[in-house]
Structure 1
Amino acid sequence: MIVGHERWRKPEGCWVDTCRCDPTNISLQAACQLFQRHVAKTSAIAEGDFATLKGHLIQRGDAFTEISINARQRIGKLGARFVSPGSTVLIHGFPRVVLCILQEALNKGVQMNVVLTEGRPDGTYQNMVSWLHERSIPTTVILDSGVAHRMERVDMVLVGAAGVVENGGVISKLGTFQIALCARALNKPFYVAAEAYKFARRYPLNQRDLPIENAPIDFGPLLPSGVKVENPTQDYTPPEYISLLFTDLGVLTPAAVSDELIQLYM
């Protein structure tokens, strides 16, 4: 196992230097690496016929694209089974795959209530509130610091992920880890929805193992000059705080992620 910051280097044999893209964009890097592996899995490489090889690569690329496009719909059908009528779901951020789960539940006639975190500083809660309002879903917005206070009245937590790592943990929007901690303390199920192309060959051990991107945030004019402001965009949630992962590969326990990664790259 590669240790320290070296574990973030691209795997040997990568055709595209994914390290040149934004290092905090975990999902993009994971998808690029998986795509390269997928299109290369063809016997045409050994045939030496360029035209045949090109045709196989395009065919497999189209197949990968089709799988990725349909991923959210499959996750929506799987995840909707866990949303009970009249339940209260806590959501963090604006994960599109979570929208698919909620929409599928609505299509089945399941009515629910949503508790939505403010999700500073990017204001994604505004898009989420609009989406929920258009579908007449009762919604309560809370401050990020109010999660522990509200958790006892929540039935489940449903979040998305920027990346699912080898041990079954997830890298997601800042604040996800503390929500998971509160959910565990109050015995609330904590579910993560993520497409398989976000499965990343990474193994962070703690928060310091993540690539850091500080998002701009305004604390107002009264903040003294020289005070350091730290606002990373993502955090790492270890697998022991995750109940289940809803993926297009099926409903997985965190322990099953490593086996699925092996299958994806075989």
Structure 2
Amino acid sequence: MAVPLVSVPEFGLRSTHSQAISVSATIEEEPSASQEFNVFQVYQRILENEEIATPLAAILALTELLDHSRAGTMFELVKELNGGAEVLKTRTSNSISLNAGCELFIAFVTLFPHESDSFSELKTELVKQGQQYAKEALTYRHKIAELALGFIKDDSVILTHSYSRVVIQALLLAHKQKRISVYVTEARPRGFGVKTYEILTAAGIPCAMVLDSAVAYVMDTVDFVLVGSEAVVESGGLINAVGSNQMAIIAKAANKPFYALAESYKFHRLFPLSQYDLPTHHPDILSFPKPAHRSSPALTARPSVHPSIAGHVSTATEELPTWKSGLLVKSPFQMSMTPEQISRNPSVDYTRPDLISLVFSDVGILTPEGVSQYLVGMFAG
């Protein structure tokens, strides 16, 4: 069952202030500062802090844009913020979680009631609120970890996927109080599962790396699956690192709980019906390139290994067994995946709400249906 939803989003989309500002409120006309302010550079600088997630970095970047804005009306201000959000979106390969943060902040600015006598005072208050929200949002992972702790029992065996800061924090907290063991997938092609494995192992948690293709093999031995999120969408479904969907399907078939951990600033008003409705999908994904010339009938397929965490392509060569004249012999075989081949694969996928058991968030433990209700309340004004 879902924890009762809070009626007031913590970002302050609703308030007890007496009245909302009119979109026609004005101050002295000045030229726009948005052309002088590089919102993308600010966004990149903020992301250098490992503790700040993509949507939160977008909120902070738009807060700085607001601080530098010379807009004289709410209409002009919202237009500048939408323009800044569009710049961030177009210059980011995967803009899903970024869009969630931008959407939340712009809705906050649009709906924020106030008691200010001037528009400049309102902008100052909005900047203050944005900075305060970001500071508070850094505590969300700990709140979520505490909620998840109640579902982790002694000697639990947990399967996780790729790299998620909130999942790592939940596992580290559980390790302090209980005995747990963790299976971590590689999460090819970026190989972020290796990073998770190294962090958990360094903390003394018994871990084992699992091939992405071995998830079904290991599923019967785990108690539940715990994953992070790029975004939780309006349907209650999950967008996360590619491979999450097949993991959820296998967990459902094995009757294992599939839990998602997500900060509320990752809740996104998006309603995909399939993988091909995601903003990240484009025609080249999983398309068949036209061969430049006819190739020989010899074996040309190249299985991949994960590149390093930095994203470089592995060029490792391994002696693989092959059959020759009825005997098993070894022959050199290039194990690599070209950048073009990687680009033809999705980086994220969509997991349907019926495959998700619960969503742990800073606003409570929600069913997928509860996420939909929360989003409606958040953006209702």
TM range (shorter): 0.7 to 0.9
TM-score by length of 1: 0.86
The question of 1:26 aligning with 2:96 is answered yes
CA change 1:222–1:163 in 2 (3 A) is: closer
Matches within 5 A, 1:185-224: 185-210=253-278, 211-212=280-281
RMSD: 2.6
Cα distance in 2 for residues equivalent to 1:260 and 1:177: 23
Q: Which has more radius of gyration? A: 2
Please report the TM-score for the alignment, with normalisation by the length of structure 2: 0.61
Within 5 Å, give how 1:119-198 maps onto structure 2: 119-198=187-266
Aligned residue identity for 1:26: I
2:133, 2:162 → 1: CA distance?
27
Q: C-alpha deviations, 1:185-206, integer Å up to 9, x for none?
A: 0100000001111111100000
Q: Distance in 1 between matches of 2:255 and 2:113?
A: 50
Q: CA deviation at 1:159?
A: 0.4
1:73 and 1:100 in contact (8 A); partners too:
yes
Normalized per residue, which structure has more helix? 1
Equivalenced residue count is 252
The one-letter amino acid of 1:16's match is: N
Q: Equivalent residue for 2:146? A: 77
Equivalent pair of 1:35/1:64 in contact (CA under 8 Å): no
Choose which of 163, 173, 176 in structure 2 pairs with 1:104: 173
Q: What are the equivalent positions in structure 2 for 1:111-122 lying under 5 Å apart?
A: 111-122=179-190
Report deviation, 1:89. 0.3
CA distance in 2, matches of 1:29, 1:138: 36
Q: Could you give the per-residue CA deviations for residues 115-148 of structure 1, whole angstroms, max 9, x where no partner exists?
A: 1111111121221111111111111111100000
Q: Give the secondary-structure state (helix, strand or coil) at the position aligned to 2:273.
A: coil
2:82 corresponds in structure 1 to 16
Q: Deviations over 1:63-89 (max 9, x none)?
A: 321332111111111111111110100
The aligned residue for residue 38 of structure 1 is 108
Q: Name stretches of at least 5 consecutive residues in structure 1 with no aligned partner.
A: 1-11
Structure 2: how far apart are the matches of 1:139 and 1:48? 58
Shift of 1:212: 2.7
1:87 aligns with 2:156: yes
1 or 2 for the larger relative contact order (CA 8 Å, sep ≥6)?
1
Equivalent residue for 1:240?
Answer: 354
SS at match of 1:16: helix
Superposed CA deviations along residues 170-218 of structure 1, whole A, max 9, x for unmatched, are 1100000000000000100000001111111100000111123769866
Counterpart position of 1:3? none
1:24 alignment partner AA:
N
Q: Look up the match of 1:5.
A: none
Structure 1 residue matching 2:198: 3-state secondary structure = helix
